[in-house]
Amino acid sequence: MTYLITQTLNGLFSAALLFLIASGLTLAFGVMKIVNIAHGSFYMLGVYIAYTVILRTQSLLLGAAAAIVVVSALGFVMQRFFLRRFGNDPLAQMMMTMGFALLFRDATLMIWGGDPFTLQYPGWLRGSMEAGDVVFPYYRLFVIVVAALVGVALWAINEKTLLGARLRATVDDPEMASAMGINVTLLSGLVFAAGAGLAAFGGVMGGPILGGYAGLDFDLLPLAFVVVIVGGMGSLKGAFVGSLVVGMIDNYGKALVPELSYFTLFAPMILVLALKPTGLYGRA
Amino acid sequence: MLQITDLHTYYGESHVLQGVTLAAARGTVTAVLGRNGVGKTTLCRSIAGLTPARAGAVVFDGNDITRTPPYRIHDLGISLVPQGRRIFPSLTVQENMAIAVNTTRSQGWDLQKVFAVFPRLAERRQNRGNELSGGEQQMLAIARALVARPTFLILDEPTEGLSPMLVAEVAGVIRRLKDEGTSILLAEQNAAFAVKVADYVHVMSKGVVVHSTDPVALWQNEEVKTQLLGVPAAVSPPNTRPGT
Ligand SMILES: Nc1ncnc2c1ncn2[C@@H]1O[C@H](COP(=O)(O)OP(=O)(O)O)[C@@H](O)[C@H]1O
Ligand SMILES: [Mg+2]
């Protein structure tokens, strides 16, 4: 029982990180139909930028803020000046994001070297919660709560605000959205930037546990894609449910049959695709 | 108000508008008629900026908008009611309009007025676009264009697929908007409907305007009617009330 609860909590922690990464990936896909291979790089850059700023300033908050701002800006520039040029050619866009991903990987190696590190825990989140036999670090609990709050905030923006309505209109029919006065290009850039910022924030949140190392970007990318594909490309709700499914399966899979960890991860994806090609909440 | 000069529009290599010239005067209803495929929708799309023309000019209130992006054309006061309605399926009735609202012009329609004029939309305001009937979608498409407070309204086949009762309602809305001072471009295959509401008509064929006249004269021209509009000669004239 203790084992079950602990593994479930660990699964929730993975799901929380995955959601922070995958929500931006799925939003960008919904609005622009961009399959962004560089999305894992945004997470990685978030960790590294936060690391540098925290080293200099000793402020976790400043580190997080810098990571989000810098990576969002990077995402905006990437969309505005590069991806947008291939607006109706998904393959060209994907190849371009692949190029960016490799560029970011090499730049990271050049600037920071390849040595692994972890971010500091915030002081007030050291230690573990103990309930009976279950021991669970406060920090992981904190990440779960934060991701849940981010999820609620994204849902509220998407469903309850005018900006959200504009976003959904653009996902429904970008051409009509522009005819109804929406600057689709600008909105797309902002969504892409917000997605990049979310991934960077995910990096900061995951930093004390997963840390930063060479190859982090491409370790996370397949997981994020499985989440988005299982949940349905473009669906926020899908990213939420997909994160839970993948987080749990990945955790239990690795705990129970570690030698099959890629099988346990991709099997559910193939199953979902076989039964519902658009993913759980995707649209045709 | 709107002056279109020698407009050439392509879809890829396909040359659809082959030099369209026409003007729409302020406060009038200008109809563009013609059979399926002559380029009426393409003309509407070129004005709205969705398929910008490669050559020629669209000048609106003195501004050359030939290559202006659609969202800016919308802000300048041109609203489009597209063929096929194109309602956003995942937005509620209210949201479908809210995203298009423009309050830079102090006078004009708002959601309250829409709900007063189209009570059916008020009842359905929380329903999603994909839950509406065809008639409701058409009213919403018109309402969505109106809340932007356009000075110029483009209606592309607004009567397509509607029951006679709803067609009459659309005619009523067009007359009302005209009385309010809105200028209208009406693209229609349904010539019998168009001549009832239009002040002036242009007939298109194969991407050019081939005949321009007033509605009464058009309806008396059997040759144009049968050859360019596909109206059987036997159809008797409707109660033509041009410009009312
Ligand atoms: N998106 C498109 N791509 C290529 N050709 C098109 C497209 N839309 C319309 N056409 C062609 O352009 C011509 C004019 O079409 P359209 O403007 O829709 O005519 P209308 O509205 O008068 O029926 C037709 O021959 C049609 O097949
Ligand atoms: Mg048409």
- Pick the more confident residue, A101 or A266: A101
For the purposes of burial, counting CB atoms within 10 Å of the CB of A231, is it exposed (0-12), middle (13-18) or buried (19 or more)?
buried
Nearest Cβ partner for B100 among A173, A180, A183: A180
Residue A256's pLDDT is what?
Answer: 84
In tens, the pLDDT along A3-50 reads 889 999 999 999 999 999 999 999 999 888 889 999 999 999 999 999
Going by DSSP bridges, is the β-strand pair B183-188/B152-156 parallel, antiparallel, or unpaired? parallel
| pLDDT interval class at A174 (50, 70, 90) | very high
The answer to whether the Cβ–Cβ distance between B91 and A184 falls below 8 Å is: no
Return the residue of B nearest to A167 by Cα.
B99
Is the pLDDT assigned to residue B212 strictly greater than 80?
Answer: yes
In tens, the pLDDT along B123-157 reads 999 999 999 999 999 999 999 999 999 999 999 99
Is the pLDDT assigned to residue B234 strictly greater than 70?
Answer: no
Three-class secondary structure assignment of A183-235: CHHHHHHHHHHHHHHHHHHHHHHHHHHHCECCCHHHHHHHHHHHHHHHHCCCC
The answer to whether the Cβ–Cβ distance between B69 and A178 falls below 8 Å is: yes
Ligand 1: residue whose CA is nearest its atom 25: B37
> Which atom of ligand 1 sits closest to the CA of residue B45?
17
Cα B124 to middle of ligand 2, angstroms: 28
Is the pLDDT assigned to residue B187 strictly greater than 70?
Answer: yes
Q: Is A267 on the interface with B (CB under 8 A)?
A: no
| pLDDT interval class at A70 (50, 70, 90) | very high
Is the pLDDT assigned to residue A107 strictly greater than 90?
Answer: yes
On average, the pLDDT of chain B sits at 91
Return the residue of A nearest to B45 by Cα.
A179
Instruction: Provide the chain A residues 11-70 that lie in CB contact (below 8 A) with chain B.
Output: none
Report d(CA B124, CA B145) in Å as an integer.
18
Nearest Cβ partner for A178 among B71, B91, B96: B71
Q: Which residues of chain A does B91 touch, with a Cβ-Cβ cutoff of 8 Å? A: 165, 168-169, 172
Report d(CA A61, CA A225) in Å as an integer.
29
Is the pLDDT assigned to residue B244 strictly greater than 50?
Answer: no
Residue B223's pLDDT is what?
Answer: 77
Coil, strand or helix at B187: strand
Report d(CA B8, CA B66) in Å as an integer.
11
Based on its alpha-carbon atoms, the radius of gyration of chain B, rounded to whole angstroms, reads 17
For B165, other C-beta atoms within 10 Å of its C-beta total 8
The answer to whether the Cβ–Cβ distance between B86 and A182 falls below 8 Å is: no
| pLDDT interval class at A89 (50, 70, 90) | confident
Residue of A43, A73, A31 lying closest to A222 (CA atoms): A43
Is the pLDDT assigned to residue B204 strictly greater than 90?
Answer: yes
Q: Which residues of chain A does B69 touch, with a Cβ-Cβ cutoff of 8 Å? A: 178, 183, 185
CA distances from B46 to A64, A68, A175, B18, B51 (A): 47, 40, 13, 12, 5
In tens, the pLDDT along A207-217 reads 999 999 999 99
Instruction: Provide the chain A residues 165-184 that lie in CB contact (below 8 A) with chain B.
Output: 165-166, 168-169, 171-173, 175-184
Cα B41 to middle of ligand 1, angstroms: 7
Q: Scanning the structure block, which residue is given the tokens 């961009």?
A: A34
Q: In b/e form, how buried is each residue of B62-84, taking b as 16+ CB within 10 angstroms?
A: eeebbebbbbebbbbbbbbbbbe
The answer to whether the Cβ–Cβ distance between A172 and B74 falls below 8 Å is: no
Q: How far is the alpha carbon of A162 from chain B, nearest alpha carbon, in Å?
A: 7
Question: What ranges in A37-183 are assigned the alpha helix state H?
Answer: 39-57, 60-81, 90-112, 138-160, 162-172, 174-179
Q: Which residues of chain A does B47 touch, with a Cβ-Cβ cutoff of 8 Å? A: none
Q: How far is the alpha carbon of A282 from chain B, nearest alpha carbon, in Å?
A: 13
Is the pLDDT assigned to residue B240 strictly greater than 70?
Answer: no
Nearest Cβ partner for A165 among B50, B80, B98: B98
Is the pLDDT assigned to residue A284 strictly greater than 50?
Answer: yes
Percent of the residues in chain B that have a pLDDT greater than 90, as a whole number: 82
On average, the pLDDT of chain A sits at 93
Report d(CA B115, CA B133) in Å as an integer.
17
Is the pLDDT assigned to residue A152 strictly greater than 50?
Answer: yes
Report d(CA A59, CA A62) in Å as an integer.
5
* Backbone phi, psi, residue B38, to 5°: -80, -15
Residue B121's pLDDT is what?
Answer: 95
Cα A127 to middle of ligand 1, angstroms: 67
Question: What ranges in chain B are assigned the alpha helix state H?
Answer: 40-48, 70-76, 93-98, 111-117, 119-123, 134-146, 164-179, 191-197, 215-220, 222-228
Indicate the domain borders of chain B.
1-77+151-166+180-238, 85-150
Tokens linked to A158: 């998407």
Q: At how many degrees (to 10) do helices A162-172 and A2-32 cross?
A: 70
Return the residue of A nearest to B145 by Cα.
A180
The answer to whether the Cβ–Cβ distance between B80 and A175 falls below 8 Å is: no
Coil, strand or helix at B134: helix
Which of the residue ranges A59-68, A124-133, A155-164, B143-152 would you say has the lowest mean pLDDT? A124-133
In tens, the pLDDT along B58-82 reads 999 999 999 999 999 999 999 999 9
CATH superfamily to which B1-77+151-166+180-238 belongs: P-loop containing nucleotide triphosphate hydrolases (3.40.50.300)
H or E element at residue A17: helix A2-32
Cα A227 to middle of ligand 2, angstroms: 41
Instruction: Give the binding-site residues of ligand 1, using a 6 Å CB cut-off.
Output: B 11, 14, 16, 34, 36-42
